[in-house]
Amino acid sequence: MEEHGEFLIPASRNEVWRALQDPLVLKQCIDGCEQMTVINADEFECAVTVKIGPVKARFNGTISILEAVQPESYTLKVAAEGGAAGFGQGQAHVQLHETNEGTRLTYAVEGSIGGKLAQIGSRLIQSFSRKMARSFFESFSKQWVA
Amino acid sequence: MNAETGIGASALRKEDARFITGKGQYTDDINVFGQTFCVFVRSPHARAKIKSIDTASAMAVAGVIRVFTGDELTADGIGDLPCGWVVTSKDGNPMVAPAHPPIATEFVNYVGEPYAFVVAETLQAARDGAEAVSADFEVLEAVVDTGTATSSAQIHENVANNQAYDWELGDKDATDAAFAQADHVTSLDIVNNRLIPNAIEPRAALGSYDAASQTYTLYTTSQNPHVERVVLALFVQVAPEANLRVISPDVGGGFGSKIFVYAEETAVIWASAKIGRPIKWRADRSESFLSDAHGRDHVTKAELALSSSGEMLGLRVKTIANMGAYLSTFSSSVPTYLYGTLMAGQYKTPAIYVETQAVFTNTAPVDAYRGAGRPEATYVVERLVETAARELGMDPVELRRINFIPTDAFPYQTPVALQYDTGNYAASMAKALELADSDGYMARKAASEAAGKLRGRGYSCYIEACGLAPSQLVLQLGAGVGLFESAEVRVDVSGSVTVMTGSHSHGQGHETTFAQLVSDRLGIPFDSVNVIHGDTGRSDYGLGTYGSRSIAVGGSAIDKALDKIIAKGKKIAAHMFETTDDQVDFADGQFSYAGSNEPKPFAEIAGAAYIPAVYPLDELEPGLSEKAFYDPSNFTYPAGSYVCEVEIDPTTGETDIAKFVAVDDFGNVINPMIVEGQVHGGIAQGIGQALLEHGIYDSSGNLATGSYMDYAMPRADDLPDFQVDMTSTPCTHNPLGVKGCGEAGAIGSPAAVMNAITDALGVKDVSMPATPQTVWQTIQQGT
Amino acid sequence: MKINITVNGAEQAVDVADNALLSDVLRDALGLTGTHIGCDTSQCGACTVHLDGRSVKSCTILAGQADGGEVTTIEGIANGEELHPMQVAFRANHALQCGFCTPGMIMSAIDLVASSDEPLNAEQVREGLEGNICRCTGYHNIVKAVLDAQANM
C-alpha cells in the first residue's frame, strides 16, 4: 500500500520540525494511541489500539526517526506487533517546505501488513491506512489552528 | 429388478434421513468424556527462521493444560508428513522432497503453518492460550510466484532452484518432427488459477488414547481413513498400526482436500497420549483457507501443430506446477501422471510431449482438488483446440470431429501412456449439440446483440482417467500404495446384509448406490442392506474415495464379494436340493434347480448357512460372509461433451451463463439421480474456477483471499440450471461396466466457459477467473 | 449470565458466557448439533436457525440477544414423525449430498417461502438463498426442491 498527501501548517519550519520530534505531540495525533515512551531521541515505543473491519487489536510498536535533515525532512519508521491480529510495518517520508503562508508538509507513506489482518482485512487496509495517515497529519496541523 | 431401487433406478438416498433432520454425526458433533480442546498457533510470516518460541505466558492462562512445540514431537520420534508418490525427473533422479515436520521446528514456510499448539479445558482457554504464545522470527524473503520460483531465493536447504522435479512424458523427437511439418501452429500461454477447495465442513479431529488397552482412536474428517491410519502408523509413527483406529464419520464434503494427512490430526492423536485425555480440534474457516491443501496453480506454455485441413499432428506442453511449501500426500502425482497422461484428450494426435517442472513457493501446499491434474490437462487441450479452429477459420465442432478417436479404434493406445478401453465421442457431441439447440444459436446471438449484450459459445470435450487404479502400474510409476479396494458382504441370519466397504462417502451417497447394487444382485429388499464405511476398526484395509473410484473399484469389489456369496449360497442350496452346485441357478433372489419346483429364497439359504443342519461341515464351513479385494486392470475413461453459452454485459463486464449442457459417458449407471447430482456439483466448481474463484497471495506471501468475503464461492444466484444427459459405452474391464462420475463436471466445464467468453469477446485468451473486472478491462483494451 | 429461551418448543434456562454465540449454546449446551459451523465471518449460512420465526445466522447472534426468544432448529421442524414439506422436498429432489449445509439451507428456505406473499420463481429462490453456500450440489436441485416444497407449505 502507498499513500501520500500534503498539509499547509501556519507555523515556521522550525516549530513544525520540533513538534514532529515531540513524543507528546505524536501521541496526541495518532488515533488510538494509548502510550508513548521515549527510548532515546530517535526512538519511541508506543501502544495503539486500532480497529480495521472485523479485527480490533492493541499493537505494540516502535517508532524510529531516520535520515533526519533538520529542519527539512525525515523518515518515520514504524514496526508494530498486534499478537494474534498480525503485524504491520511502514515508513513515512516527511518533507517540510517553507512558504509564505507557513510550512507545507508533504508525506509519502508505504507499508505492509501480515497475519490475521492481511487475511481478513486486506481489502480494508488501503482505506484504513489512508485514513490513519490523513488523520495523523490533520491532527498535527490543527495544533496551530486553534 | 425393483424399478425404484434396482440398478439403474433413481432411488432416493438412505443417508438423507439423518441429514435432513440434523442427525448427521460429523466429527465436530462427537463429544467424549474428559475431552479437551486444541488451538494451533500459526505462522504470520510466509518464510522465517524460528529463533525462539515463548510458551510461558500461554501456560499461565487459566485453563491451559499444555503448550506443545514441534521440538517435542521430534524428540518423541514423530516423523515427517510424507509424500506418497515419488516422481522421477528427466535425468533419472528421484524428486527432491524437503523435510516436513507436522509442527514447524526451525523454519516456517507459509502463512498458517503451525509452529505450536495449545491444549486447554475449554475452547476459549485454548484460544486465549494460543494468542499468548509468541515467537521470535527472523523474517526471510518469501517466494510467491509460480513462474519465477526457480530463480528466486532458495526456500529449502536441500532443494536447489526450488525445484522438486523436472518430469517429461512422450516422444520429444517425434513431436518436434510433427511441428516441423505442420502448416499451422497454435500457441497459448495458460495460467490455471489457484483454487481453495472449501468443503463446507471444516477439517476436524478428535483423538483419544486409552491407557488400559494402549489403543488410540482418531475421529477425523478423512476421505480415506485407512490411508490416514497407515501413514500415521508407518511414516509419522504415532502408534503401531494395530493400536490405532481411525474413524471418518459423516464427512461434509472433501473434493480432494480431505485425502491428505495433515499436521492437525497428527498433533491431536499424538498429544492425547501425552496428556492422557481426549483432544478435539476443529478448523475455523480462516484456518481452512490457510492450511487446507490448495488446488491447480499451473503456468503453462502449450502449442498445437495442425495441417491446413485441421488434422492435429502434434502437441507440446511445458508446465510449471506450484507445489506450495512442501510436498503434500499425493501432490507430486497431480501435475504428472494425472495431467501429462491426459494430453491426448479425445483425439488421435500422434505425437505428444509434456514437461512438468514442480516448484516450491512459500504458500500452502497444493495437492489434488476435484479432478486433480485432469481439469488442467483438459483446459490446455480444449482451449488449444478451440483457438486452433478459430485461427484456421474452422467450425470448432468440425475440427474436433475430424480428430476424434473413432469408435473402431478402441482399445486405443495414446502416445502418453494410457490405453483407452472404449468410448464414443461423436455420440456425446451429437447429443450435446441437440440438447443445446445448436441450430437456434444464431437467433439467440442476434437477440442478445439487439439487447446490447455479447453472446458467445464454447465447447469442451474432456476425457479423464479415473477409477484409480491398477496397483502394479501405479507402483511402477512411483506410488507408495496399491490402489485396489476392499469389500466384505456379511449376510445376516435373517437374510439381511451388512456391507463393509473401503470406499468412503462424504456426499457421494454410497449407502444408497452400494445398497442398490447388493439388493439388485441378491434380489433382497433395498432396506435390508446396510452399508458401513469409514472405520478402520470395522472394514478391511481399503483406499478410500477420490479420483472417481468408488463405484468402479469399490463397487466392483462388492460385486466380487457378491459372486462369492452367491457361489456359496449355491453350494448350500445344492445340498438342500440334493444335487451339485453347478445345477443350481440363482436369479431374482431365488436359488432354483431344474429338478425341483420349490425354489429357495435367498433368506432361506442365509438361515440355513447359520443353522448348519443340511450340509456336511467337513466340506463347507458354516456362515455366509465373504470378502473381496478388487484391483482394476486399467483406469476407466469417462468422457463427455460440454457446451456453454454466455451472455456478457459490456457495460459491467458481468458474465451470465445462459446455457450449460453436459453430456457424459459414464458407462453403466447405478443411480442416475446421484450421478446427475455429482455432475451438477462438478460443473458448479468448474464454473467457480472460470468465473469467480482465485486463491491469491500478496507479494509478501499473505493470503489475500482468506475468507468468504474475499474468496468468491459460487452462490445460488451465480449459477444457471444445468442441462445434463448421458450416453453410454460400458467400461470393458470391470464387472459393472461403470466408469465413475465424481470429477467429470469440474474437469470439463472451465474450458467450455472460457471458450464461450473468448468467443463472445472475440479475443484469444482471458485469464481465469473471468471476473467482471477482468472481462470489462478486456473489452476496453479490445485485445 | 442466565438466559431463558424456548428451543423447539421446550423452555430452557441456560447459563452462558457473555460472549457465547447462539450457535455455541445450541450445539454445546443443548446438544443440538444439527446446527453446523462452516465459517467465521457469517457468510456460509450453515448455522441458520429461526429466532422468533425469522431465519438468522446463529453464529452472528449472541446467546444473550436470544434471551426470552423462541428458537427453532433443524431438529424442531418436523411434526413428530411427519417431516416438514421442505425436508421431504430436499430428499425427493436430491437437494443434498454431504448434508453439511443442509440444515441451514432448509431453515433459510423455509423462511424464504414463508415470508413471501406470492409464489417464488427459480430466480427469486436463487437470490433468496444467496446467503447459504453449498459446495456439493451446484444448487440446481436445491432450487427445484424449494419450488417443489412451496406448493405443499
Does B702 sit within 8 Å of A119, measured CB to CB? yes
Strands (E), B551-675: 584-587, 590-593, 600-601, 625-630, 639-649, 654-665
List, for residues B655-695, the tens digit of each pLDDT value.
999 999 999 999 999 999 999 999 999 999 999 999 999 99
Ordered mean pLDDT values, 10 residues apiece, chain C (153 residues) = 97 95 97 97 97 97 96 97 97 98 98 96 98 98 98 92
What's the average model confidence in pLDDT over B307-327? 98
d(C-alpha B364, C-alpha B332), whole Å = 15
d(C-alpha B523, C-alpha B5), whole Å = 11
Does B22 sit within 8 Å of C103, measured CB to CB? yes
Confirm or reject contact between C146 and chain B (CB < 8 A). Answer: no
Tracing cell 495518532 back to the chain, one arrives at A30
List, for residues B608-651, the tens digit of each pLDDT value.
999 999 899 999 999 999 999 999 999 999 999 999 999 999 99
Cβ contacts of A64 within 8 Å, gap of 6 or more: A42, A43, A44, A76, A77
Cβ proximity of C16 and C63 under 8 Å? yes
Is B244 in a helix, a strand, or coil? Answer: strand
Determine the length of chain B.
783
Beta-bridge partner residues of C55: C50
Chains contacting B with at least 3 CB pairs below 8 Å?
A, C
Task: Report the residue from A83, A119, A122 with minimal CB separation from B290.
Answer: A119
- Among residues B488, B487, B494, the alpha carbon closest in space to that of B610 is found at B494
Assess whether pLDDT exceeds 80 at residue B605.
Answer: yes
Tracing cell 497444493 back to the chain, one arrives at B366
List, for residues B412-427, the tens digit of each pLDDT value.
999 999 999 999 999 9
Assess whether pLDDT exceeds 70 at residue A54.
Answer: no
Residue A119 confidence class, pLDDT cut points 50, 70, 90: confident
Name the residue ranges covered by the structural domains of chain C: 2-76, 85-150
Chain C environment of B286 (Cβ under 8 Å): 40
Instruction: Please give the interface size between A and B, counted as residue pairs whose CB atoms are below 8 Å apart.
Output: 44
Cβ proximity of B595 and B579 under 8 Å? yes
Number of helical H runs and strand E runs in chain C: 5, 5
Q: Residue B557: is the preceding peptide bond cis (ω within 30°)?
A: no
Q: What is the DSSP string of B284-329?
A: -HHHHHHHS-BB--EEEEEEEEE-TT--EEEEEEEEEEE--SS--T
Number of helical H runs and strand E runs in chain B: 19, 28
Percent of chain B with pLDDT over 70: 100
**B136 phi and psi angles, rounded to 5 deg:** -100, 110
Q: What is the DSSP string of chain A?
A: -EEEEEEEESS-HHHHHHHHT-HHHHHHHSTTEEEEEEEETTEEEEEEEEEETTEEEEEEEEEEEEEEETTTEEEEEEEEE-GGG-EEEEEEEEEEEEETTEEEEEEEEEEEEETHHHHHHHHHHHHHHHHHHHHHHHHHHHTTT-
Tell me the three cell numbers of residue B386.
478451440
CA B130 to chain centre: 33
Is B16 in a helix, a strand, or coil? Answer: helix
Chains contacting C with at least 3 CB pairs below 8 Å?
B
CA B776 to chain centre: 33
- Among residues B383, B701, B672, B201, the alpha carbon closest in space to that of A112 is found at B701
CATH says C2-76 is which class? alpha beta
List, for residues B96-140, the tens digit of each pLDDT value.
999 999 999 999 999 999 999 999 999 999 999 999 999 999 999
By CA distance, what is B29's nearest residue in C?
C33
Does B680 sit within 8 Å of C137, measured CB to CB? yes
Angle formed by the axes of helices B510-522 and B556-577, nearest 10° = 30
The question of ipTM being above 0.95 is answered as: yes
Percent of chain B with pLDDT over 90: 98
Is B657 in a helix, a strand, or coil? Answer: strand
**Among A14-28, B216-230, B244-258, where is mean pLDDT lowest?**
A14-28
- Note the pLDDT of residue A50: 84
> Which domains are delineated in chain B?
16-22+484-630 (3.30.365.10), 31-140+200-253+258-291 (3.90.1170.50), 298-469+634-781 (3.30.365.10)
Chain B environment of A115 (Cβ under 8 Å): 44, 111, 702
By CA distance, what is B707's nearest residue in A?
A120
What's the average model confidence in pLDDT over B330-356? 98
Q: In the sheet that B36-42 helps form, which strands lie side by side, from edge to edge? A: B64-69, B114-120, B36-42, B279-282, B204-210, B215-220, B244-247
Candidate CATH numbers 3.30.413.10, 1.10.150.120, 2.40.50.140, 3.40.30.10; the one for domain C85-150 = 1.10.150.120
- Note the pLDDT of residue B782: 76
Name the residue ranges covered by the structural domains of chain A: 3-21+65-142
d(C-alpha B179, C-alpha B182), whole Å = 5
- Note the pLDDT of residue B706: 94
Does B289 sit within 8 Å of A118, measured CB to CB? no
Tell me the three cell numbers of residue C68.
426470552
**Among B2-6, B139-143, C106-110, where is mean pLDDT lowest?**
B2-6
- Note the pLDDT of residue B311: 98
pTM for this model (two decimals): 0.95
Does C83 sit within 8 Å of B21, measured CB to CB? yes
Cβ proximity of B252 and B284 under 8 Å? no
Chain A environment of B130 (Cβ under 8 Å): 84
Q: Best of B13, B20, B550, B661 to disrupt the C interface by mutation (most C CBs within 10 Å)? A: B20
**B59 phi and psi angles, rounded to 5 deg:** -65, -25
Residue A129 confidence class, pLDDT cut points 50, 70, 90: confident
Chain A environment of B706 (Cβ under 8 Å): 118-120, 122
Q: A3-21+65-142 is classed in which CATH architecture?
A: 2-Layer Sandwich (3.30)
- Element (DSSP H or E) covering residue B380: helix B374-392
- Note the pLDDT of residue B1: 63
